[in-house]
């Protein structure tokens, strides 16, 4: 296919992906109030304020946008796969599809982990720290910015095992080299926990750093299993030579 045709195909797939995100966001905007109530649950009895006219309206668009992107993610990944798969070999195609599926599952798992563990832990620490000095009355916009950013960062951090598995499958690194670098991984996980955590409290940073370290070890195990499976699988027999 000529280069211009490739660019036209890419443009069409990007437009379809954007349209899917917009339609999903519009659908989420219709049900945005239940979504906001769900995001408010980790805060418990905290009261939220609207500090400016129209603040909740803009917050509604923001929540609907994040939710729409999450819902449209499988279709966006499908469009990306449909564009790159024709240029890959048969073995590469076998690897990409499970990796993309695992990536989507891990992203959703990261969102659930952030909502279930990280956000409540951060809020408990932040509320109890100044409970005897100030009364917690929070801006709904600032609170949802905190929650959405933490969930997005955690979902992205949960992609680590997929990245390790792809590196191992393509032979760029083996599990022994990964495991030998565990000290640097712990240090990097701690730095990532500090950078990705919007609240900067130690409890959330430690939880996120621990989750990243555990995911790295899971990735090492997956690469080790893959290498062992490769070693036990005999290579394909070469085709017989034609009689001449």
Residue 18 pLDDT exceeds 70: yes
Residue 233 pLDDT exceeds 60: no
Query: What pLDDT shows up at residue 62?
Result: 92
Q: Which residue has the higher pLDDT, 25 or 152?
A: 25
Query: What pLDDT shows up at residue 16?
Result: 92
Q: What percent of the chain has pLDDT over 70?
A: 84
Query: What pLDDT shows up at residue 34?
Result: 92
Mean pLDDT (the chain) is 80
Residue 239 pLDDT exceeds 50: no
Q: What percent of the chain has pLDDT over 90?
A: 15
pLDDT in tens, 50-67: 888 888 999 999 999 999
Query: What pLDDT shows up at residue 183?
Result: 84
- C-alpha 125/C-alpha 92 separation (Å) is 46
Residue 208 pLDDT exceeds 70: yes
Residue 39 pLDDT exceeds 70: yes
Confidence grade of residue 35 (pLDDT, cut at 50, 70, 90): very high
* Structure-token pair, residue 180: 């030998």
Residue 235 pLDDT exceeds 60: no
Residue 244 pLDDT exceeds 80: no
Query: What pLDDT shows up at residue 24?
Result: 94
Q: What's the chain look like in SS3?
A: CCHHHHHHHHHHHHHHHHHHHHHHHHHHHHCHHHHHHHHHHHHCCCEEECCCCCHHHHHHHHHHHHHHHHHHHHHHHHHHHHHHHHHCCHHHHHHHHHHHHHHHHHHHHHHHHHHHHHHHHHHHHHHHHCCCCCCCEEEHHHHHHHHHHHHHHHHHHCCHHHHHHHHHHCCCCCHHHHHHCHHHHHHHHHHHHHHHCCCCCHHHHHHHHHHHHHHHHHHHHHHHHHHHHHHHCCCCCCCCCCCC
Task: Please give the average per-residue pLDDT across 70-94, as a whole number.
Answer: 76
Residue 194 pLDDT exceeds 50: yes
- C-alpha 42/C-alpha 38 separation (Å) is 8
pLDDT in tens, 133-174: 777 788 899 899 888 888 888 888 888 888 887 777 767 778
Q: Which residue has the higher pLDDT, 233 or 12?
A: 12
């Amino acid at each position: 296919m000529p280069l211009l045709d490739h660019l036209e195909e890419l443009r069409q797939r990007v437009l379809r992906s954007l349209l899917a995100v917009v339609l999903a966001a519009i659908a989420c905007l219709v049900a945005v109030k239940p979504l906001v109530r769900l995001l408010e649950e980790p805060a418990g009895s905290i009261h939220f304020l609207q500090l400016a006219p129209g603040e909740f309206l803009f917050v509604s668009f923001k929540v609907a946008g994040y939710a729409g992107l999450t819902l449209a993610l499988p279709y966006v990944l499908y469009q990306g796969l449909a564009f790159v798969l024709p240029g890959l070999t048969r073995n590469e195609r076998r690897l990409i599809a499970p990796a993309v599926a695992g990536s989507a599952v891990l992203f959703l798992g990261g969102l659930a982990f952030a909502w279930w563990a990280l956000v409540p832990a951060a809020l408990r620490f932040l509320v109890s720290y100044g409970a005897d000095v100030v009364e917690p009355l929070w801006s709904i916009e600032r609170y949802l910015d905190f929650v959405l950013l933490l969930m997005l960062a955690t979902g992205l951090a949960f992609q680590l095992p997929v990245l390790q598995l792809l590196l191992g499958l393509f032979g760029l690194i083996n599990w022994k080299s990964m495991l030998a670098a565990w000290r640097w991984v712990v240090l990097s996980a701690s730095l990532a926990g500090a950078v990705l955590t919007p609240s900067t409290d130690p409890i959330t940073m430690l939880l996120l750093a621990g989750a990243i370290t555990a995911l790295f070890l899971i990735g090492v195990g997956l690469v080790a299993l893959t290498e062992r499976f490769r070693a036990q699988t005999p290579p394909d027999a070469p085709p017989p030579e034609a009689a001449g």
